[in-house]
Structure 1
Amino acid sequence: MADLKHRILMVSDFFYPNFGGVESHIYYLSQCLLKLGHKVVVMTHAYGNRSGVRYMTGGLKVYYVPWRSFLMQNTLPTFYGTLPIIRTILIREKISLVHGHQAFSTLCHEALMHARTMGYKVVFTDHSLYGFADVGSIHMNKVLQFTLADVTRAICVSHTSKENTVLRSGLPPEKVFVIPNAVDTAMFKPAQERLGHNEIVIVVISRLVYRKGADLLVEVIPEVCRLYPNVLPDDMIVLAEPDPSDMVQAIKKAISIVPEIDPLVMHDRMKRLYNWNDVAKRTEIVYNRALKCSDQSLLERLSRYLSCGAWAGKLFCLVMIIDFLLWRLLELWQPAKDIEEVPDVVLPRDQDGENIEGFR
């Protein structure tokens, strides 16, 4: 049996069977980390009848905790209600590091808070860009500032995302790493026969929500269709007048170079540049650096929360002090030695790193 390098708990409200970018990111990253010899466990909330412990491909263990979502797949914020079950999972699985995903996830924020209280190293990945002016963004940015005040390391999926996260949270830039998302090139391949030069297909892959820029499509599509009357026939679409010229010019440029692109060569480049194995290896480096960070006392940690604002800082400190006291009470009520640890199981793999058939 090979030695396990890290024991990682991935936490987010967003995971399969729900579909989305965060869900896919956690799944593929976990699978590649398993191939690298790490132990990976996922924690999310229950989805319908899917509750309890489940196993996925590659032996990926998932805890569907009995919390129900109340808004956009997010669990109801409880602050301290999740502490007992998170503590139990951390001890049972002998976790060494907690990795939370997505600023919108309530479960992620609470898990990182409890993990830091218990002395675990934590890593946070921010998957989206947020504004600064509307009420929702202001509220979310303050929550993020609270969570990241004591985070060990953070990961963003682009340099723009890093700038956005640093500005919103006040996190030191040297703590933030940029690791781009990967592309599953096995699922998307170029067509065997190219379209004619008179036929152009533009594909947009995104959630149709405002923060993803879906509103811009409504304005960009009419202008592009006017410039290139061959994307859809007139009798199949009704369009409004356009406005954002910059995006139109960018699409014009993209269309002008389409004849010069060899899809197979482009696909091969994408396969090398954006693959999940590379993402996992770069994430592994972040884990290594996080685990080398020195442990800090409660007072040292509280000083960082106190710097989050005149009133907010004091409130954050109060929240963490109560969390610490509740954790100590749990230690007295149910000592860690009384919680049964699960044995580590490393699935046997062939020379290519794949699971040996028949072993489940």
Structure 2
Amino acid sequence: MISDFFFPQPGSGIESHIYQLSTKLIDRGHKVIIITHAYQGRTGIRYLTNGLKVYHVPFLVVHREATFPTVFSFFPIFRNIVIREQIEIVHGHASLSNLCHEAILHARTMGLRTVFTDHSLFGFADAASILANKLLKFSLSDVDHVICVSHTCKENTVLRASLDPLMVSVIPNAVVAEDFRPLGYPANPAENSVKTRGPLPPAHPLGPHETITIVVISRLFYNKGTDLLIAAIPRILAAHPNVRFIIAGSGPKAIDLEQMLERHVLQDRVEMLGPVRHEEVRDVMVKGHIYLHPSLTEAFGTVIVEAASCGLYVVCTRVGGIPEVLPQHMTTFAKPEEDDLVAATGRAIAALRSNRVRTDRFHDQVKMMYSWTDVAERTERVYKGISGALSEEEFYGSHPGGGWSATRGRAGVQGFSLIDRLKRYYGCGIWAGKLFCLCVIVDYLILVFLEIWAPRKSIDLARDWPRKKPIENGIVDDREDARFPASARVVRRRSGRDGWRDGRVVDPG
């Protein structure tokens, strides 16, 4: 897994997606490492939970944790890591991650399979989007498969990078529902099953004079709708005297938000918490009744799933992939306009006061809809498809007249020969195509030089984190475990869907 955006940077989107997906793939018996850039106080190699190894490469960060594009200088480090860890598939994340795009180029030059996951939506008219789309087209011209987090995101990515829709899969984000429980919800699932057996008792309606708390947790940037939020808050508070806001997050728009509070003298009704870590998000959410998400563009919106899991009624804008995320009874949609956002918030407040919305049921429903284990299984299927473990019919399904272009090879899986790669890049534009071909040729020459200057046999292989492969319930695992004598074997039994735990130690005799 490779991306510029990873922990300790605060965020619940790309960072959490990479971590949770990697952890679940490890639980399924795969070896996973993460490559990202160095953060303050965090360089070199770090080990996270479950033996997940993270390489923090010391590159210059230029804007919003994205590294400075170097194109070729990352190649020697990347090659060394790939050979040391015996990597077979490189999975990049995020359209604006330079490390991701460079890694896909270098991986294809080294003969590795590649996957790209797009987490964002981009336009087609402004200069920044045009440049980003051209960069994306460069990277995805030679990628084996693409994953998008929503169908809207898939449509956007296919148009931006001129992809065949058959080589793009939709695998959404998920949420660890146990980490986002409402107040009073039992931590023990068995206890919960006893308590919720049969029809739930009616929830207590909020009286006309009880305070309703609206929670906003977001990066305070323009695309997250902060300007819309600044305009809507005074009107919402003026129309509803018994409403208060809790706002968590940081960004360049924070100063505008603070100036609005001073101008309207709303400091006693709006609490600003500043940046919060992801593990603290639940503690903030359970203080509220409504979650307000005024984003102007969003591919998925993991935070609204977390809010619903905490038992909050969601008010959000109908943009991007947000309408795909939650069922209608959990959300009130608004146009990305000030008047409609104020009106939608008013409807949500009225629905809560009249007890028309059963937010006490949301957590169990979200838990059934989203699971990282399911995401890992679907991603694993993509890996098998591009590796040839699945046939073309199994992976892509039957498609009428569905031949693939001759330059793409079997079912869209890219060939590694240099001439085929140059054909794919050459079709990216009159001038851009020639530039891309030049980059590929230079990258190939650098690989030839590195193979001579630092041959593979001179690079030490890294030892894998000791672990056992997943086994079926009640089957004895014959692999050695460092914690027990070599003469003993460990019986491991399944503990829920998402993991394993060690059972009793038995003698081989």
- Structure 1 residue aligned with 2:382: 286
For the Cα contact (< 8 Å) 2:108–2:416, is it kept in 1? no
Matched to 2:368, the amino acid is R
Residues 254-265 of structure 1: pairs in structure 2 closer than 5 A: 254-258=348-352, 259-265=355-361
Query: Residue 89 of structure 1: CA displacement?
Result: 0.9
Moved more, 326-335 or 197-206: 197-206
Moved more, 196-205 or 137-146: 196-205
Equivalent of residue 327 in structure 1, options 444, 447, 458: 447
Deviations 1:155-203 (A, max 9, x none): 1111111111112111221111111111232222223396724343333
Higher helix residue share = 1
Moved more, 44-53 or 25-34: 44-53
Matched to 2:160, the amino acid is R
Alpha-carbon separation, structure 1, partners of 2:222 and 2:147: 24
For the Cα contact (< 8 Å) 1:200–1:231, is it kept in 2? yes
Query: Residue 22 of structure 1: CA displacement?
Result: 1.3
Equivalent of residue 202 in structure 1, options 214, 218, 228: 214
Equivalent of residue 415 in structure 2, options 277, 286, 295: 295
CA gap 1:194/1:306 in 2 versus in 1, 3 angstroms: farther
Matched to 1:176, the amino acid is V
Matched to 2:6, the amino acid is F
TM-score by length of 2: 0.63
SS of corresponding position for 2:216: coil
SS of corresponding position for 1:201: strand
Query: Residue 35 of structure 1: CA displacement?
Result: 0.8
State how many pairs are aligned: 346
Matched to 2:229, the amino acid is L
Query: Residue 255 of structure 1: CA displacement?
Result: 4.0
For the Cα contact (< 8 Å) 1:219–1:243, is it kept in 2? no
CA gap 1:145/1:286 in 2 versus in 1, 3 angstroms: same
SS of corresponding position for 1:204: strand
Query: Residue 128 of structure 1: CA displacement?
Result: 1.4
Residues 142-161 of structure 1: pairs in structure 2 closer than 5 A: 142-161=134-153
SS of corresponding position for 2:429: coil
Matched to 2:385, the amino acid is R
CA gap 1:336/1:208 in 2 versus in 1, 3 angstroms: same
SS of corresponding position for 2:212: coil
- Structural RMSD (CA): 2.6
Equivalent of residue 77 in structure 2, options 64, 75, 85: 85
Equivalent of residue 120 in structure 1, options 95, 112, 115: 112
Deviations 1:244-275 (A, max 9, x none): 44444544454454423333321011112112
For the Cα contact (< 8 Å) 2:174–2:375, is it kept in 1? yes
Query: Residue 34 of structure 1: CA displacement?
Result: 0.8
For the Cα contact (< 8 Å) 1:224–1:251, is it kept in 2? yes
Query: Residue 133 of structure 1: CA displacement?
Result: 2.1
Deviations 1:211-256 (A, max 9, x none): 22323223343444455443239862699xx954444454445445
Residues 196-345 of structure 1: pairs in structure 2 closer than 5 A: 196-198=206-208, 199-232=211-244, 236=266, 244-258=338-352, 259-292=355-388, 293=413, 295-345=415-465
- Structure 1 residue aligned with 2:2: 11
Matched to 2:448, the amino acid is R
Q: Which structure has the bigger radius of gyration?
A: 2
For the Cα contact (< 8 Å) 2:144–2:414, is it kept in 1? no
Q: Which runs of no fewer than 5 residues in structure 2 stay unpaired? A: 185-202, 246-263, 271-335, 389-412, 469-491, 504-509
For the Cα contact (< 8 Å) 1:47–1:68, is it kept in 2? no
- Structure 2 residue aligned with 1:106: 98
Moved more, 133-142 or 340-349: 340-349
Q: Are positions 1:172 and 2:164 aligned together?
A: yes
Query: Residue 137 of structure 1: CA displacement?
Result: 1.5
Moved more, 128-137 or 253-262: 253-262
CA gap 1:211/1:243 in 2 versus in 1, 3 angstroms: closer
For the Cα contact (< 8 Å) 1:42–1:62, is it kept in 2? yes
Q: Are positions 1:62 and 2:54 aligned together?
A: yes
Deviations 1:13-68 (A, max 9, x none): 11121121211111111111111111110011111232111111000011112223
For the Cα contact (< 8 Å) 1:306–1:314, is it kept in 2? yes
Query: Residue 86 of structure 1: CA displacement?
Result: 0.6
SS of corresponding position for 2:215: coil
Matched to 1:282, the amino acid is R
CA gap 1:285/1:204 in 2 versus in 1, 3 angstroms: farther
SS of corresponding position for 1:236: coil
Alpha-carbon separation, structure 2, partners of 1:320 and 1:185: 44
Q: Of the two structures, which has the highest relative contact order with CA contacts closer than 8 Å and spacing of 6 or more?
A: 1
Q: Are positions 1:139 and 2:131 aligned together?
A: yes
SS of corresponding position for 1:39: coil
Alpha-carbon separation, structure 1, partners of 2:38 and 2:501: 27
Alpha-carbon separation, structure 2, partners of 1:315 and 1:41: 32
Alpha-carbon separation, structure 2, partners of 1:355 and 1:19: 31
Alpha-carbon separation, structure 2, partners of 1:89 and 1:206: 34
SS of corresponding position for 1:19: coil
For the Cα contact (< 8 Å) 1:92–1:342, is it kept in 2? yes
Matched to 1:196, the amino acid is L
Percent identity (aligned): 50
Matched to 1:272, the amino acid is M
Alpha-carbon separation, structure 2, partners of 1:180 and 1:127: 9
- Structure 2 residue aligned with 1:163: 155
CA gap 1:66/1:355 in 2 versus in 1, 3 angstroms: farther
Alpha-carbon separation, structure 2, partners of 1:205 and 1:178: 26
Q: Which runs of no fewer than 5 residues in structure 1 stay unpaired? A: 1-9
